[in-house]
A and B are shown apart, each in its own frame.
Chain A
Amino acid sequence: MTETRPAGAIPRPDPSAAATGASRLGRRARSLLLSDYFVLWLSLAYFLALLPFLPTLGTPANLANLLSNMWPLLVVAIGQTFVLTIAGIDLSQGSVAGLTSVVGAMLLATAAPAQVLSNAPIWGVVLTEAGGPLAGVAWGTALGVAAMVALAALIGLANGAAVAVLRMPAFMVTLVTMIAVGAFAIWLTQSNNIRELPEDFVALGKGTLVSVYFGERAEPQIPRRQLHDFVTWPMLIALGVAVLAHVALNRTVFGRWVFAVGVNRTAAEISGVPVRRVIVAVFVISAVCAAIGSVLYTARLETGRPTLGGGNFLLDVIGATVIGGTSLFGGKAKILWTFFGVLFFVLLSNTLNLMNLSAFHIDMVKGGVILAAALLDVARTRMSRGAAP
């Protein structure tokens, strides 16, 4: 029995395609969720929702504070974004920030109190009562910053080599680095801070180029506290790093290789991508970003602090990056996302502080928000899969 059916009958309209009001709303929600700007809209909505309850939230002083909190975190998170793109993770960023903070400060300090630091192994070797070796030297600050960055690059190189050549898991390698480098930083000063940093260095973290004033014009002398920082050195540095990172990740051959390694390392290798060099470079970038972040933090605090990257540092960095939408599984990242993620995270911390919550409560809420972001990422991934069957 043979039966042949004619092919090419008219396709019937698919009933699910009928555009009802509800499905149009659903499609809007979908495109909003999948948009690059989703976290920005989320931040704005959150800001506006809380504004009536927290009147201080919108004051110029608070906004200036919010922005100033954002820049160092942004720089460090950008470094983390690169590592996450190749499906790695860098847990050592906090320790690198702490060590470079100490090293920069011990080189640059203009004076140091013996009663605090005389027990430290660096006392008398690098640091004395007259400060560090670069105190008063021409271009001293530049040299100090260069030393911080170079030291970080070396640590990144070690991380990268262990991951790329020895094929060790990034989590293990950077965990070990985190512990060892963190302990080394604390040992250097015996857990003490180094103060008395030169002014031009401090300017890197606090220097203002444009301030804004919202008071009477007639006032003869404006009190300092009514002037609000607007354009600052850390802002310029962080945005500069962000623009460079964006170009590197999205517009260069190197960026293409980074994504290729993140999506499928084996296929990248067979296609001639220099996989090992890419991995090493990515870890160097991550550590250097940690060092630049450390410059901004150290200068802002006017203190070289070995525990700079302790506590919640890592939570903030990875949390902000992941909230932005960068995937922990690699191959999915944008600097713009990280920017918005950092903005949201800083806004979140700021509002929780304004609510007078204890540090414990703040961490509980932050943890919850990261969990929500992870869930959202799962939903977004599923949606984007559905969109392209």
Chain B
Amino acid sequence: MTALLAFEELTKAWFGVPAVADLTLAVPEGATLGLIGENGAGKSTLMNVVGGVTPPTSGRMLWRGAPYAPRSAAEATARGVAFIHQELNLFANLSIAENLFVDGFPTRFGLIDRAATAERTRAMCARVGLDLDPATPVGELSPGERQLVEIAKALHREADLIIFDEPTTSLTPRETARLFEVIARLKAEGRTLIYISHILGDVARLSDRIAVLRDGRLVDEGAAAAFDVGRMIRSMIGRDLAGMYPPRSRPPGEAVVFEARGLDQPGVLADVGFSIRAGEILGLFGLMGSGRSELARAIFGLDPLADGTMTLAGRPLAGGPGARIAAGLAFVTENRREEGLLLESPVAENLSLVVARGFGRGPFGVIDAEAHAVATERAKTELGVRAGAIAVQPVKALSGGNQQKVVIGKWLMRQPKLFLLDEPTRGVDVGAKFEIYALADRMAAAGDAVLFISSELEELIGMCDRILVMSRGEIAGEFAESPFRREAILAAAFRETVA
């Protein structure tokens, strides 16, 4: 079995700190390699080296046995490497056809041959199971469809090596299933794939071989059949993870902290009512577009409601985010980078953003720098944020899991009564997930109420006292019994699609 791509003692260091260290690994031609590791393990760096984005510090790569040292992304593309990223590289304002042929349209007499372009686009889309008008702007496609367009583009270039980097994070279950069908077809065609994901079950299912990176090193590698999820996790974090979820420290109390009645927002929410008790973690499960994030935004006062009332600790909730924060709400949004963090600002300033007013002294609000430093340092320690000098280090330099801990931490400093956690573990590695679950448990143990929104049913089952299911803007079911019935919850979520 010849290797399409091989790494030989490859090292990539940033300012002397190796992100990939001494890596020797072969990707056999025609095989699918599953690449896993925690955030910061070196997966992205390695893929950047393959893609010609950054050169290795030492060591080399071989492509079908010949030295391979791309100096630019274009060179890697020309060689036959294609990337399918979580953030796609498509032009939303251009049509499918224009995206596919952006680097060279079929021409006739020097002008673009529209008929030929459309015809070839249709043929290429058919290869990935897309049946769409080639003139459709990519901006109108769903995330799953865009991904398929991206794959069609890779096929159009006759890429030999297709690298999938977390392709399913923004896909619905159905889109994911369709993606996997296409991947199976690619495998049957004999293409070589590298599949990177945090969803270990998918990796096990799709891969022929699995390689595990930890701290830039290859720590485990072998045939996929020899791996189970337990071994993957052990290799990734270097220890046994006794359980995926921390045990709950205290049972929920009786007092109702938050109550919503008849929340209505035409086309988005329909007569949503529920309550959360002190110390309770209430799960909210729903597919994309079910209204789960919209509900959180409405509770937080970001989007207007046509009708309905909400009370927090017995008092009616009203006003904008400022007033609701003062009343005791906290909102960890699903878009950490866009809505949660000041990426360019230091970690400490992110931690204290919500409570900044509390550090102001005197009539002009001059900040008490010492109190600020002490409080943010304490928060960093309590949260277990792995960061250096938090007063200067920008939060964008942290890994995804640590960034999320900062987002949660800035709310913890305010000591709210109700936490809205919207997909708090998205894009976060296994170890950090556990820590985030532990933080949710800590909030509940302190007597706060937690609304835990997720599209990963497993984590809701693992952490919640009760699970609500949303579908098409309505509460489609409530599940309180333990153990939770997985099938019943899914059936409620898929209500519309199944029926």
Specify which of A251, A260, A264 lies most central, judged by the most chain B CB atoms within 10 Å of its CB.
A264
Segment touching B, from A11-19, A219-227, A231-239: A11-19
Contact B214 A272 (CB under 8 A): no
The residue that B345 contacts in the complex, of A7, A12, A260, with Cβ under 8 A, is A260
Contact A7 B214 (CB under 8 A): yes
- B334-355 near A? 1/0 per residue, CB < 8 Å: 0000111111110001001110
Contact B344 A5 (CB under 8 A): no
Interface residues of B in 130-179 (CB under 8 A from A): none
Select from chain A the residue with minimum beta-carbon distance to B215: A7
B360 on interface, CB distance cutoff 8 Å? yes
Min Cβ gap A167→B in Å is 15
Specify which of A7, A8, A389 lies most central, judged by the most chain B CB atoms within 10 Å of its CB.
A7
Q: Report the separation of the CA atoms of residues A271 and B357 in the bound assembly, to the nearest whole angstrom.
A: 12
Q: Report the separation of the CA atoms of residues A269 and B354 in the bound assembly, to the nearest whole angstrom.
A: 10
Min Cβ gap A104→B in Å is 27
Select from chain A the residue with minimum beta-carbon distance to B357: A253
Contact B217 A7 (CB under 8 A): yes
Q: Which residues of the other chain, B, contact A267 by a CB distance below 8 angstroms?
A: 338-342, 353
- A252-275 near B? 1/0 per residue, CB < 8 Å: 111011011001101111111110
Given A253-B359, A270-B321, A271-B353: A14 and B16 interface contact (C-beta under 8 Å): yes
Given A1-B223, A3-B221, A9-B217: A271 and B410 interface contact (C-beta under 8 Å): yes
Min Cβ gap A83→B in Å is 18
The residue that A14 contacts in the complex, of B18, B367, B410, with Cβ under 8 A, is B18
A312 on interface, CB distance cutoff 8 Å? no
Q: Report the separation of the CA atoms of residues A17 and B15 in the bound assembly, to the nearest whole angstrom.
A: 7
B-side binding surface: helix, strand, loop or mixed? mixed
Q: Report the separation of the CA atoms of residues A8 and B218 in the bound assembly, to the nearest whole angstrom.
A: 10
Compute the total of residue contacts between A and B using a CB distance below 8 Å. 131
Q: Report the separation of the CA atoms of residues A266 and B297 in the bound assembly, to the nearest whole angstrom.
A: 13
Q: Which residues of the other chain, A, contact B333 by a CB distance below 8 angstroms?
A: 270
- B194-236 near A? 1/0 per residue, CB < 8 Å: 0000000000000000000011011111110010000000000
Contact B360 A253 (CB under 8 A): yes
Contact A270 B367 (CB under 8 A): no
Contact A273 B353 (CB under 8 A): yes
Contact A270 B356 (CB under 8 A): no
- A341-360 near B? 1/0 per residue, CB < 8 Å: 00000000000000000000
B311 on interface, CB distance cutoff 8 Å? no
Min Cβ gap A367→B in Å is 29
Contact A389 B410 (CB under 8 A): no
Min Cβ gap A9→B in Å is 7
Interface residues of B in 379-434 (CB under 8 A from A): 393-394, 397, 410
Q: Which residues of the other chain, A, contact B109 by a CB distance below 8 angstroms?
A: none
Min Cβ gap B451→A in Å is 16
Q: Which residues of the other chain, A, contact B342 by a CB distance below 8 angstroms?
A: 259-260, 263-264, 267-268, 331
Contact B345 A5 (CB under 8 A): no
Q: Which residues of the other chain, B, contact A260 by a CB distance below 8 angstroms?
A: 342, 345, 349, 353
Specify which of A9, A263, A266, A267 lies most central, judged by the most chain B CB atoms within 10 Å of its CB.
A267
Q: Which residues of the other chain, B, contact A2 by a CB distance below 8 angstroms?
A: 222-223, 226
A42 on interface, CB distance cutoff 8 Å? no
Q: Which residues of the other chain, A, contact B367 by a CB distance below 8 angstroms?
A: 251-253, 256
Specify which of A4, A272, A274, A332 lies most central, judged by the most chain B CB atoms within 10 Å of its CB.
A272
Interface size class for chain A? 35 or more
Q: Which residues of the other chain, A, contact B394 by a CB distance below 8 angstroms?
A: 388
Select from chain B the residue with minimum beta-carbon distance to A248: B364
Min Cβ gap A111→B in Å is 42
Q: Report the separation of the CA atoms of residues A16 and B214 in the bound assembly, to the nearest whole angstrom.
A: 23
Min Cβ gap B45→A in Å is 10
Q: Report the separation of the CA atoms of residues A86 and B215 in the bound assembly, to the nearest whole angstrom.
A: 38
B13 on interface, CB distance cutoff 8 Å? yes
A247 on interface, CB distance cutoff 8 Å? yes
Q: Report the separation of the CA atoms of residues A272 and B340 in the bound assembly, to the nearest whole angstrom.
A: 12
Min Cβ gap B322→A in Å is 5
Min Cβ gap B351→A in Å is 11
Q: Report the separation of the CA atoms of residues A9 and B215 in the bound assembly, to the nearest whole angstrom.
A: 11
Select from chain A the residue with minimum beta-carbon distance to B396: A388
Min Cβ gap B59→A in Å is 10
Q: Which residues of the other chain, A, contact B222 by a CB distance below 8 angstroms?
A: 1-4
Q: Report the separation of the CA atoms of residues A1 and B321 in the bound assembly, to the nearest whole angstrom.
A: 56
B65 on interface, CB distance cutoff 8 Å? no
Min Cβ gap B266→A in Å is 23
Min Cβ gap B41→A in Å is 11
The residue that B58 contacts in the complex, of A15, A248, A271, A387, with Cβ under 8 A, is A15
Contact B217 A5 (CB under 8 A): yes
B492 on interface, CB distance cutoff 8 Å? no
Contact B343 A264 (CB under 8 A): yes
Given A14-B16, A267-B342: A5 and B220 interface contact (C-beta under 8 Å): yes
Select from chain A the residue with minimum beta-carbon distance to B238: A7
Contact A9 B410 (CB under 8 A): no
Q: Report the separation of the CA atoms of residues A247 and B367 in the bound assembly, to the nearest whole angstrom.
A: 10
Min Cβ gap B350→A in Å is 9
Q: Which residues of the other chain, B, contact A253 by a CB distance below 8 angstroms?
A: 356-357, 359-360, 365, 367
Q: Report the separation of the CA atoms of residues A9 and B216 in the bound assembly, to the nearest whole angstrom.
A: 11
Min Cβ gap A376→B in Å is 19
B22 on interface, CB distance cutoff 8 Å? yes
Contact A5 B218 (CB under 8 A): yes
Q: Which residues of the other chain, A, contact B221 by a CB distance below 8 angstroms?
A: 3-5
B57 on interface, CB distance cutoff 8 Å? yes
Min Cβ gap B160→A in Å is 24
Q: Which residues of the other chain, B, contact A9 by a CB distance below 8 angstroms?
A: 22, 217
Q: Which residues of the other chain, A, contact B242 by a CB distance below 8 angstroms?
A: none
Q: Report the separation of the CA atoms of residues A7 and B234 in the bound assembly, to the nearest whole angstrom.
A: 12
Contact A388 B393 (CB under 8 A): yes
Contact B325 A256 (CB under 8 A): no
The residue that B21 contacts in the complex, of A1, A11, A16, A251, with Cβ under 8 A, is A11
B302 on interface, CB distance cutoff 8 Å? yes
B285 on interface, CB distance cutoff 8 Å? no
Contact A272 B354 (CB under 8 A): yes
Q: Report the separation of the CA atoms of residues A331 and B16 in the bound assembly, to the nearest whole angstrom.
A: 30
Q: Report the separation of the CA atoms of residues A259 and B352 in the bound assembly, to the nearest whole angstrom.
A: 13
B366 on interface, CB distance cutoff 8 Å? yes
B331 on interface, CB distance cutoff 8 Å? yes
Given contacts A252-B364, A260-B342, 13 further A-B contacts (CB under 8 A): A5-B217, A7-B214, A12-B21, A251-B369, A252-B365, A257-B356, A259-B342, A263-B344, A268-B353, A270-B300, A273-B353, A386-B15, A387-B15
The 4 closest A-B pairs by CB, nearest first: A2-B222, A17-B16, A272-B325, A253-B365
| 19 CB-based A-B contacts, threshold 8 Å | A2-B223, A4-B220, A5-B220, A7-B219, A11-B18, A15-B57, A16-B57, A248-B364, A253-B356, A253-B359, A253-B360, A254-B364, A256-B367, A259-B342, A264-B342, A267-B341, A270-B331, A270-B339, A270-B340
B residues neighboring A (CB under 8 Å): 11, 13-18, 21-22, 57-58, 214-215, 217-223, 226, 238, 300, 302, 321-322, 325-326, 331, 333, 338-345, 349, 352-354, 356-357, 359-360, 364-367, 369, 393-394, 397, 410
